[in-house]
Amino acid sequence: MTYNFDTTYTRLNNKLYQFLNLPQIEDPHILLLNSPLIGQLGINYSDDRSPQKLLGIDSSERPFAQAYAGHQFGYFTVLGDGRAMVLGEHITPDKERFDIQLKGSGTTKYSRGGDGKATVTSMIREYLYSQALKNLNIDSSQSLAVITTGQRVMRNTVQDGAVLIRVMKSHIRFGTFEYVSKFCSSQDLKHFADYVIERHYPELTDECDRYLSFFRAVLENTIRMVVQWYRVGFIHGVMNTDNMSITGETFDYGPCSFINYYDPSKTFSSIDTYGRYSFGNQRQILRWNLSVLGITLLPLINSDADKAAFLVKKELDTFDACFDSHFLKMMKCKLGITDPGPHDQIIASILQFLKINKSDYTNTFIEIMQPGTFEDAVYQTDEFKVLREEINRQGGDLKLMVENNPQHILRNHLVEQALQEYENTGSLDKVTELLKATASPYTKNKGFSRFQIPPSYDFDNNYRTHCNT
């Protein structure tokens, strides 16, 4: 068989999932295939361009959609996999476990009136972003393939349909705990939490305060994830609790983007009217999301509600210090500072420079470590030269800077150009170029220098991303 499935999730309470049949796709064609990932996972698939095997046609496991809830823009909502199904949990030759999920596979009982489908451009977009994040050394879901369905999907216009095969350690979310906490018994909650700990945090299994330790571990893992977003200028765009993985993996690449001209209040998402999930707000939204997760764990942490609340609050009170520590370490790496001191002032100075001048976030750090790379007038100012000299005095470790400052990110305007080219001509040339440019993002390559050029201010100010559901 193609996949080596050993699915454990469906041994839980059946309130947590719905068994499904494989989607009936009459005319599937592989559009994008991640051959290196197939090899890494040890999937039994030769590149014969046969999509049915990747879609699980030879599997003995029953696919399923997961139930979950979530706070969307701060409001509780009952959700679930409305257009996705997990084919099963694949075991690699190294005994690692990964969910194999089809996204855009059709309706489930959680679809809430939606069609359960996905457009080919939105799936190409997720393929691009998930692989870019992974190549930037950020924990992320990965895309195994984009497969066109031959069906038409109605959004703002009628578009071609596709499914994405997504790979993650787990699709369990903060919102899954919200669902279990609200709609299942206290015993179910305990069973579910024990399952999650055993599967994803086995080192905590025998701890007497394992549920509090679990919360602490998730807090630390998700802080690491978001700090890495700040390192490369990534805006997730929709940090609802149902889009937060308990394993600290970035996923659900809907209205995501990379920041160009530095502005902490920047958001590109068309649905984020008030900037709740802006670039600068991602820190405080993570803390809010963690508080929601903590509430679901209260009955497990202590039978005394007040004592449990005290213990969770005590952990949450470590958030700022933990985040500051990781953020400081990250910024020192970007500036090549190896000295153990805090260096708060120089970090504040570079962020202030970026904000006042609205400089390109990625290129400014390249210019610091590789002077003369860009002809932008802002880098010729005395202010910048003095700042760079001070950075070199305090740090400037080139190897460290090269490892932490990407030469290439997914520029939003280039992603749109690539998607438009595919829509208009069926060509994947620009998509392929983007995949090549972001495959080794820390390597300077003159052939990809155009990928370093930010869009016009006008494009950046008017650009909007969409969920496409």
- Please name the residue ranges forming H helices in 395-428: 398-404, 412-425
pLDDT at 469: 59
pLDDT at 136: 98
| Strand, helix or coil for residue 159 | strand
Where the chain has pLDDT below 70, the residues are 47-49, 468-469
pLDDT at 155: 83
Rounded to whole angstroms, how far apart are CA atoms 257 and 272? 13
- Maximal C-alpha separation, the chain: 67
pLDDT tens digits for 203-230?
Answer: 999 999 999 999 999 999 999 999 999 9
pLDDT at 177: 98
pLDDT at 156: 80
Rounded to whole angstroms, how far apart are CA atoms 167 and 98? 6
* Count of CA atoms in the C-beta half-sphere (13 A) of 455: 20
pLDDT at 438: 96
Catalytic residues: 242
pLDDT at 154: 83
pLDDT at 50: 82
pLDDT tens digits for 314-341?
Answer: 999 999 999 999 999 999 999 999 998 8
pLDDT at 47: 67
Place of tokens 């040339």: 429
C-beta neighbour count of 170 within 10 angstroms = 21
Domain ranges of the chain: 9-66+79-171, 175-301, 335-469
